[in-house]
Amino acid sequence: MSLSLPVSSEQPRPWWRAFSRKLAMLLPKGLYARALLIVIAPMVILQCVLTYVFMERHWQRVTMRLSNALTNEIAAIADLHQVYPGRKNDDLLVRIAQQRLDIDIEFLPKGELPPALPKPFFSIIDAALSNEIKRQIGKPFWLDTVGRSNFIEIRIVLDDSILRVVALRNAAYASNSHIFILWMIGTSFVLIVVAIAFLGNQIKPILLLAGAAEAFGKGRDLDFHPRGAREVRQAGYAFIEMKRRIERAFEQRTTMLNGVSHDLRTILMRFKLSLALMRQTEETRDLQKDVDEMQRMLEAYLAFARGDAGESAAEIDVQEFLEDLRLDAERAGFETKIAFAGDPVVTLRPDAFKRCLVNLIGNAQSHAEHISIEAVRDQRFLTVHIDDDGPGIPPNRREDVFRPFFRLDSARNQDEGGTGLGLAIARDIARSHGGDISLGDSQAGGLRATVRVPV
């Protein structure tokens, strides 16, 4: 008997995953922009909701009530005109409307109404007045709300004449309501400006912390003091403590290795003195070679473990730097070409970076006759290509040669007569600058070593 586990049905739907991916692509990537969006988006939504509620509930209701009151007055005048006809009574109605109701009326001879005018885009007053006139008076009418901005003209067909009414626009329309919207928009603008300034001050300490971490990763000296909110300061203090622990670990390792180096060198020196006092034979010469080999291995191991971490970064001229390397290679009897493009001034640890390139050039000199050095400096990186015409390294072994003490005997022994630490030391130095080294195929048919470090 087998038991089957129930399959959960609460898996995300494909359309939701697609929507989430598209939304993530549209959202800003920076913390400052996202924080600003968190502040601005609710404010904009709140404004839209308030504006809609105000327009639908308050503004429209007030306009309808004012339109209802104006239509009541016009309907009363029309009724009085029909009940009390005559020129004298019409003049009395005109005077009463002007003095008591603050509207101008006129009884025109009966005829055709003017052609209907196009309704404005925002026609809340047209709709309100039209509905009230149809409901209360129920006679043909003509309405103009845009001809004169401060007035409204209404013409209504009566039994014996046409009643022409001119009233102030604010008698049927809440004309000061836009002040509310302007105040709301103006206040929101001030709040957004304050939020932008405040968020800028809050994001700046985070950017300083990121810059300090990047500078430390490149092996450069930094002067960093935690600032900002409590959580940001805590992260800054944690970074400083981590930096101190790493530096203490380097110091302890260097101190230990110096002690080991002193003890081993003392023993090797005894061996050398003993061999010097002995009669020179074939056996003593072989022992001397072994002692010299142990000396070289010890120095290489100590250099690899130490990593030149104590050197400070400084600005160098890459063109002069490469020219010195070319002269050294040519003095060793190798034809070397150099090329450079970009701004020559970069910030590096000069001695460590020189040792990195010297190890790579020395590796090429062991197996090639011609060497080419090409450097390119862009906005973010310094890239140095070292090409040779040697036998190269198989692609599946190119990462292995960076392992300490690894020796490649089948095609290319990168540290012939050495300890197998040359490329490992070079990569360690490149990574201490925040970069890396990669191997590829050279255009000359040999190996290309590429050093890429941030500047």
Task: List, as one string, the DSSP characters of 125-138.
Answer: HHHHHHHHHHHHT-
- Supply φ then ψ for residue 271, to 5 degrees: -60, -45
The pLDDT assigned to 282 comes to: 81
Q: Is the pLDDT of residue 180 over 60?
A: yes
Which one, of 339, 322, 336, 346, lies nearest residue 371 by Cα?
Answer: 336
Percent of the chain whose pLDDT exceeds 70: 86
The pLDDT assigned to 3 comes to: 47
The least confident of 79-83, 168-172, 323-327, 377-381 is 168-172
pLDDT tens, position by position, 249-259: 877 777 777 77
pTM: predicted TM-score of the whole model, two decimal places: 0.51
pLDDT tens, position by position, 421-432: 778 888 888 888
What is the sign of the dihedral through the CA atoms of 278, 281, 282 and 283? negative
User: Across all residues in the chain, what is the average pLDDT?
Assistant: 80
Domain boundaries, the chain: 26-211, 230-305, 311-454
Of residues 453 and 30, more confidence is placed in: 453
Q: Is 437 exposed, middle or buried (0-12, 13-18, 19+ CB in 10 A)?
A: buried
- Residue 228, SS3? coil
Do the Cβ atoms of 167 and 105 come closer than 8 Å? no
Q: Is 311-454 assigned to CATH 3.30.70.20?
A: no
Q: Is 230-305 assigned to CATH 3.40.720.10?
A: no
The pLDDT assigned to 412 comes to: 44
Do the Cβ atoms of 118 and 110 come closer than 8 Å? no
pLDDT tens, position by position, 101-159: 888 888 888 888 888 777 765 567 777 888 888 888 888 888 887 767 778 888 888 88
| 445 phi-psi bin (left φ>0, alpha ψ -120 to 50, beta other) | left
CATH of 26-211, one of 3.30.450.300, 3.30.70.1560, 3.30.420.40, 3.40.50.720: 3.30.450.300
